[in-house]
Amino acid sequence: MKPIYLYYSWCSGSNLQLLQIPQNNLSEDVLYQLAAKFTSLTSLDLSGALNLSDACVEVFGKNCPQIAHLKLNMNPQIECVPNDGIAFAVGNTMHQLEHLEMAYGTLSNAGFKFLMEMCAKLEFLDLRGCWHVDMSETYAKEASQRLKVFHTPFMIDDMLDDDLVIDDVLDDSILDVYLSEYEDYASESEYCHSDESEYCWVTMALN
């Protein structure tokens, strides 16, 4: 069995602030439920989500207006068809965004430009492997000057972090256990607290 880690704050229920479910195979319906339940999210990681759609990102943005940290990194790929749907969904709904990771995404110049126009608070942007973004454009150069940290499409790196190399995939059945027994986990030995952080780990083993 391989454990899956769900990272959550001390607060339960709708007060959840940080949700990390990378490399998941959750259905859109379940993702919609998460967006509706956890409206206080400030940090969200859906990297490598197999069923992630423009509509799903938009629902998170509309239901969770305080999201400031978003990770939508995808698995490395050599070729992909440009699609700015997710970038437009982010730009239209997540105006508090400060940190955005979209490595190996499908966005093009149009999506990149839109993000820079709509996310005025953005300080960190990771577009490594976004092959359809042309850094010779004027607004791309302006972005380099404006952002505190900017990982450009062709930046060589030793990425991506372990989020994208998980052998097991989180699916609806596992998440149902998490949601239905949310409070129970907080009182069991698997729940641990670190004085160095307001967040705690919950470990659930996959069968």
Better-predicted residue by pLDDT, 101 or 6:
101
**Mean pLDDT value across residues 176-195:** 39
The boundaries of the domain holding residue 41 are 3-205
DSSP string across the chain: --EEEEEEESS-GGG--EEE-TTB---HHHHHHHHHH-TT-SEEE-TT-TT--HHHHHHHHHH-TT--EEE------S------HHHHHHHHH-TT--EEE-TT----HHHHHHHHHH-TT--EEE-TT-TT--TTSHHHHHHHHH-SEEE-TT---S---GGGG-SS-B-HHHHHHHHHTHHHHHTSTT-EE-TT-SEEEEEEE--
Q: Please state the rounded mean pLDDT for residues 118-134.
A: 95
Per-residue pLDDT averaged across 127-156, rounded?
A: 90
pLDDT exceeds 70 at position 119: yes
Q: Is the pLDDT of residue 158 over 70?
A: no
CATH code of the domain covering residue 124: 3.80.10
Q: What is the pLDDT of residues 37-66, one digit of tens each?
A: 999 999 999 999 999 999 999 999 999 999
Q: What is the pLDDT of residue 40?
A: 94
Nearest alpha-carbon partner for 123 in 154, 105, 146, 102: 146
Into how many domains does the chain fold? Answer: 1
Residue 88's pLDDT band (cuts 50, 70, 90): very high
Mean pLDDT of the chain: 77
What mean pLDDT do residues 173-184 have?
46
